[in-house]
Structure 1
Amino acid sequence: MEHGGGHEIGSHKLAHFAGMTFNMDTLEMTWLSMAIVIILAFLATRRLQLVPTGWQNFLEMLVTALLDQIDSTMGPKGRKLAPLIITLFLFLVVSNEMGLIPGLTSPTNDINTTLGLALMVLVLVHVLGMINNGPVRYFKHFFEPYKVFVIINVIEELAKPITLSFRLFGNILAGEVLLLILGMLVPYIIPTAWLAFSVFVGIVQAFIFTMLSMSYLSNSLGKDH
């Protein structure tokens, strides 16, 4: 059925452009999540105070905690990637919780979103690895300690984006589906309790994705770490 220049198939609105098909629900929720992160950052930094209050205080506590994790996981060189990691975490938290708002969906309940984020991290891992260690030395480690291990190492690298993306995608999608089913079968009390638990799960999954990304990136920052 035609709808706003796209097609309505099930609960997904699709649009076609240049021979490609786009899930407009995911795109719209992704753009909304990005806008929310930008607005939160703007509100927190609009009127900076020496003694922080409100959003500034909350975001400063969050950023400080993430910086501590970056230092312990990635070492001093990890500070260069702090803006990316902090932004990734904030985007994931907002995206994971979007589906808990009536009428909205989480962009992270779409494997295309989570796989895209995972591939971004893994591409950055290899690019930084070549920059910091040199292309020859970096690719040499795939053949260590024995050349036959190259197959195992390649499989491990291919598995990283798959496991990273499917873990987040599966948890968010399952939580939203279960919340919908509970809302139809047992209204009010149980769905409300599960809603509170889903908020916690969304934050935990964002933290896990971010921590694993930090772990992968730490290996590409140089031989000394």
Structure 2
Amino acid sequence: MIKKRYILLLLIVLMVVFGSVIAYTKPVLPFIQLPGEVWPGTEGLLPQFLFNGTGITNTFASTLLAWLVILLLIVLVRGRSRTADEVPTGFYNFFEMIIEGAYNFAQNIAGPKVKEFFPYFMSFILIILLSNWMGLIPGYDSIGLWENKPHFVGLEAAREFEAERIAAGESFTEEEVHHVEEEAAAALDAANEWGLRDGLFLIRNSNAVEGAPIETDSHGRAVGRNIEAADWTIVPFFRPASTDLNMTLAFALIAMVMVQYYGFKHLGFGYLNKFFPFLEKGWGQKVAKDPIKAIDPAVGLLELVSEISKIISFSFRLLGNMFAGMVLLFVMAYILSVANLAFFGLELFVGVIQAIVFGLLTLIFMSSATEGHHAEEEHH
């Protein structure tokens, strides 16, 4: 135990020295952006109607990787479940305990309908949890490809210009197309010429307080300690999928579509009475007996708006928490890398909580959608 303790202390000291003292081993402050970064060189490889020709993003790659791990987990666990062992051991025993505990928890909320809802509840938890935790693997979101920043900015400007012209119903002239091609070729030539030789130096010198004086080399290129001075950045191969709105929005849409599906499945078209109470048979007589029910259409409209707003809250709750956590780890690693020992534990906990909250809210919404308006009134 004593030897292990000294080894741990030595590793912490080395982390402080190499992460905060020695300049050339300090973590690099990355080029942080909200959308998923496109792998350089993959523009136009994927179908235009799916990815708008932008290329493969690192968040899309992370989603595929997470699903591959889930499928591998299914194969391993399913294979073990067919053995003749009466008492399971090892990882299968741990996984079975987790699934059984989650099922009992879901049964307390959904009751006998848990068999219908549990696959969605557990699937959301597993895929979101795995996506969140994979981002904590060292090197997961810091190893990647070089990208020339001016070229990246030029591509973004060209896309915006093209979108504006198309939206206005205008077409490009041959001269304009030729000019855009020349600009792109010049940017790529510069990237190929200076990338391998000066990329590391320019990137490392981008780790500085914005506004510091800018230095230039013999070729007139900026190399000063200024964030905007670097010509190159690193696009990670992977980035936590839940830090991309496309992924969180897709899960939110799936969750809420299934909520409406189960509402219609269990209540039929009577499910619409929740939003449009005047469609209910005999609603006029109920209003005559109890005039307060005249406000039910307004309440139903609020319920309808609430159903739509759940998609927004689902999406941005998960996105905001995970993206903020990623930025926090980057910034703390740049300021004092050893501090991330504490923040890694925090993000580990946040990843679990966000996965459970998403699955739990989906389960609650599915359960409440099948109860019906009359059941709520009788309950009250």
1:36 aligns to what?
69
Aligned residues: 217
1:52 aligns with 2:202: no
Out of 109, 124, 128, the residue aligned to residue 92 of structure 1 is: 128
Measured after TM superposition, the shift of residue 19 of structure 1 is 7.0
Residue 132 (str. 1) matches residue 282 (str. 2)? no
**For residues 131 and 38 of structure 1, do their structure 2 counterparts lie closer, same or farther at Cα, with a shift above 3 Å needed?**
same
| TM-score, scaled relative to structure 2 | 0.53
Whether 1:6 aligns to 2:39 is: no
Q: Which has the larger radius of gyration?
A: 2
Say which structure is richer in strand: 1
Cα distance in structure 2, aligned partners of 1:100 and 1:202? 10
Aligned 8 A contact 1:142 1:150 in 2: yes
Say if 1:70 and 1:79, in contact at 8 Å, map to a contact too: no
Q: Check whether the contact 1:128–1:221 (CA below 8 A) recurs between aligned residues.
A: yes
Letter in 2 for 1:155: V
The alpha-carbon distance between structure 1 residues 39 and 181, as it changes in their structure 2 partners (threshold 3 A), is same
Structure 1: any 5+ residue segments left out of the alignment?
A: 8-13
- Quote the offset at 1:165 in angstroms: 1.4
Matches within 5 A, 1:188-203: 188=338, 190-203=339-352
C-alpha displacement of 1:33: 0.4
Instruction: Check conservation: 1:78, 1:221, Cα contact below 8 A.
Output: no
Query: What is aligned with 1:10?
Result: none
User: Partner amino acid for 1:142?
Assistant: F
Residue pairs, 1:1-225, within 5 angstroms: 3-6=40-43, 17-18=48-49, 20-21=51-52, 24-48=57-81, 49-101=85-137, 102-103=139-140, 104-135=238-269, 137-144=270-277, 146-188=296-338, 190-223=339-372
Residue equivalent to 2:151: none
Q: Summarize the Cα distance change of 1:66–1:2 in structure 2 as closer, same or farther, 3 Å threshold.
A: closer
TM-score, normalised with respect to structure 1: 0.88
CA RMSD of aligned residues (A): 2.2
Deviation of 1:87 (Å): 1.7
* Residues 1:157 and 1:173: Cα distance change in structure 2 (over 3 Å): same
Instruction: Name whichever of 215-224 and 168-177 sits farther off.
Output: 215-224
Q: Structure 1 residue 54: deviation in Å?
A: 1.6
Structure 2, unaligned stretches of length 5 or more?
A: 1-37, 141-237, 278-292
Pick closer, same or farther for the CA change 1:15–1:99 going to 2, 3 Å. farther
* Residue identity in the other structure for 1:18: F
> What is the CA distance between 1:45 and its match in structure 2?
2.8
Instruction: Compute the displacement of 1:158 (Å).
Output: 1.3
Report the alpha carbon displacement of residue 16 of structure 1 after superposing the two structures with TM: 5.7
Query: What SS is found at the alignment partner of 1:47?
Result: helix
Change (3 A) 1:40 1:139: same
Give the secondary-structure state (helix, strand or coil) at the position aligned to 1:6.
Answer: coil
TM superposition shift of 1:4: 3.5
> In 2, distance between residues paired with 1:196 and 1:2?
30
